[in-house]
Chains A and B, each alone.
Chain A
């Protein structure tokens, strides 16, 4: 009985004292990881001018982007979108051309699909 008490006391302590697990690092070979999986990421792909100008129907989504242990600027659909970390960048649903770079070094580039009304989180690993 006493052993049971001892174990339950330590189990409670262990549960309370355990640190929360850190965010898993991005290990994708393209250096960019997205969440949720519905937001498709196609590394190295690009959009044609016609695709870029296409009208987008439906609720906009948002894109948040951070760079792990590094700096960089984010370019969306051929234009400067801001300096990472970007939070809640509103984007129309569908495919968007993304490039993240630090000077002459391209950290990640490709096409991301933003589902209607979705909140997409992207993490770029600094190579």
Chain B
């Protein structure tokens, strides 16, 4: 037994406890937000037990006061983050709309479309909850907003979305103006994660696969022609052994090309096509998230012939 190994029953028990507690520690802790009759454990945003509008208002007040302080200290980013986090924790639609307005201030300050879009999403979540509060399915024990305030909060949320959409439009119109030098540098340093790497690698693998297919085809053609030539030979011809040996050589070359071509084509095409599919999906998602983008990407395949060669040319712009 090693000197480090547990020797007594106490140390064995300790080791067993550590072994059991390590994986338990890695498990996500059940959120305290679970409702007693819902059995919801994975939710961080669900409020616990009974929630009255007045309780929600007093919990909201301290968050709004802190956010006001941050906004007056010209830190709309901090205010937006605080309000969004608390809105998620409390599932409070008013805080979601406050977060949307803070994100708008941050977006205008930073000229950031991402901030503005974050703001829109927060306002939409706030509106989802507010509209749900008017639905007969709502739990009467869960009232994050005073029932009389729901309609006015809905119109505040809708106005927030309108103003955010206008801010996005204004930002897009300002795109023609030259970007600040720092921002340009950042853009150059960091290529957008729009799947172009995957598409380029996929195209390269596909080319490799096509080359493998070419080897396979050439090998089959060579061995087939050699076979035909052997079949047509006259065994009584004195040159027969030499011609058979020659055809045998050609046949072996053909077989080698076929055997080498199969794995190259298989791996190249399988990997290439898979990467292309993932890359195109990623690009599509990126465009959906970031709106538009470079739409001039393309792949072209065309035949190429010349003196002593023929093949396919694959070119792409990513």
Contacts and interface: CB of A to CB of B under 8 A. Distances in A.
Of the four ranges (under 10, 10 to 19, 20 to 34, 35 or more), the interface on chain B belongs to 35 or more
Contact of A80 (B124, B129, B269): B129
Interface in A19-63: 19, 46, 49, 52-56, 60, 62
A95 to B, nearest CB: 12
Given A88-B42, A102-B124, A13 B265 contact: yes
B112 interface: no
Nearest to A12: B266
Contacts of B266: 12-13, 16-17
Interface stretch (B186-194, B219-227, B236-244): B219-227
B139 interface: yes
A73 B129 contact: yes
B128 A73 contact: yes
B262 A2 contact: no
A117 to B, nearest CB: 12
Interface in A64-100: 71-73, 75-83, 87-92, 96-97, 99
Of the four ranges (under 10, 10 to 19, 20 to 34, 35 or more), the interface on chain A belongs to 35 or more
Contacts, number: 118
Contacts of A97: 137
A101 B138 CA distance: 13
B124 A109 contact: no
A79 to B, nearest CB: 5
Contact of B131 (A77, A101, A109): A101
Nearest to A49: B140
Contacts of A102: 124, 128
A87 B41 CA distance: 12
Interface string B132-144: 1001111110100
Contact of B137 (A56, A72, A75): A75
Nearest to B46: A79
B42 A99 contact: no
A73 B125 contact: yes
A75 B40 CA distance: 12
Contacts of A81: 40, 43, 45-46
A92 B91 contact: no
A99 B132 contact: yes
Interface in B202-229: 209, 213, 216, 220, 223-224, 227
Given A2-B220, A55-B37, A89-B43, A79 B142 contact: yes
B105 interface: no
A80 B227 contact: no
A91 B124 CA distance: 26
A80 B137 CA distance: 11
Q: Which of A16, A72, A79, A102 has the most CB of B within 10 A?
A: A79
Interface in B5-55: 30, 35, 37-43, 45-47
Contacts of A19: 273-274, 277
27 contacts: A9-B258, A13-B213, A13-B265, A13-B266, A16-B266, A16-B270, A17-B270, A52-B139, A55-B37, A60-B41, A72-B128, A75-B138, A78-B138, A78-B139, A79-B35, A79-B46, A80-B128, A81-B43, A81-B46, A89-B40, A89-B42, A90-B42, A91-B38, A92-B38, A96-B38, A103-B124, A103-B127
